[in-house]
Amino acid sequence: MKASEVSKLTGLPISTLRFYERKQVIPVQFVSRDENNYRVYAKEVVGFLEDVRTLLSVGFTIQELILLINESENSYTEKKALVQEKIQHIQEQKAKLESSKIFLMDVLEGKASFQTHCQS
Amino acid sequence: MKASEVSKLTGLPISTLRFYERKQVIPVQFVSRDENNYRVYAKEVVGFLEDVRTLLSVGFTIQELILLINESENSYTEKKALVQEKIQHIQEQKAKLESSKIFLMDVLEGKASFQTHCQS
DNA sequence: ACTTGCTATGAACCAAGGTTCATAGTTCAC
DNA sequence: GTGAACTATGAACCTTGGTTCATAGCAAGT
């Protein structure tokens, strides 16, 4: 697959694909080069990039992703700890989202703190 | 309450309190000035800032918060729509987090896509 | 009264996550 | 075989969400 196809399938601009590659978010085995130096992407990169997108959108940083993605960087034990920590983080985020939802619903009902203040 | 107290109670640096005020994230009725031009915060600002923190941490932007917070900016109907849209967004984020969690667990088990690729 | 600490301000600075630009080689359709 | 479209590169640029700096006015204990 060439860049434009990956871009179409993932919805990510080509510039972002290159940016991620530069940042080493995309594992090297997913990108090689053809005889014209054009990038050739493995088909698996699409699903991978969807995961990257999700994780970034829920508050993970690129640096955190790299730690999870890079094989050599950490030992299995370290990585396991990291992933568990992240899963923990996700649980916390979910709890926060739940309370945010309640907060927003209160806003809607005119019950939230900054609303009550106005009614005085 | 003075700035330092709000800072202690919320964990936000004073610089951030001023930044939020400048950005109009903090409703004007929560901050006034004393005879020395020192800021005087209403006690409700603490809970409010905790909500702000939560919403920012789960992917809301300051601009989005302002739209929700500012009374005059939108009509009730518009605001209601906005809040419902945001609640919808939260549901999507929760779903994403759930799938991210599964993804991370797969990583842990050695089943995730970029792992399977390595084993070949 | 004097030192230490809190407050104020605007402007400069910073890191993250991308995007745009200038330039140049490739290739596909016609 | 020529133009429109795709690819490559490094460097510059941009936005968001803050933080730091230089300077100065209050304050509170001793």
- Per-residue pLDDT tens digits for A52-96: 998 888 888 999 888 887 766 566 777 777 778 888 888 888 888
What's the token pair of residue B115?
A: 């792992």
Residue contact B113–A84, C-beta within 8 A: no
Return the structure tokens found at A45: 């990169």
Packing angle between helix A45-57 and helix A3-10, nearest 10 degrees? 50
Residue in A63, A49, A8, A89 with CA at minimum distance from that of residue B114 = A49
B103 and A54 within 8 Å at the Cβ level: the answer is yes
What is the per-residue pLDDT for A69? 78
Residue A99's pLDDT is 83
CA-based nearest distance A49→chain B, Å: 10
What is the spatial distance between Cα B40 and Cα B32, in angstroms, rounded to a whole number? Answer: 5
Q: Which nucleotide is nearest to B56 if distance is taken from CA to C1'?
A: D17
- Whether the CA torsion B94, B97, B101, B103 is positive or negative: it is positive
For the full predicted model, state whether its pTM sits above 0.75.
yes
Q: What residues approach strand D to within 7 A at the CB? A: A 2-5, 14, 18, 33, 37-39; B 12-13, 15-16, 18-19, 35-36, 56, 61-63
What single DSSP character describes residue B29?
Answer: G
User: Rounded CA gap, B100 and A86, in Å?
Assistant: 10
Banded pLDDT at A118 (limits 50, 70, 90): very low
Per-10-residue mean pLDDT, chain B, length 120: 96 97 94 97 94 87 86 67 81 82 74 45
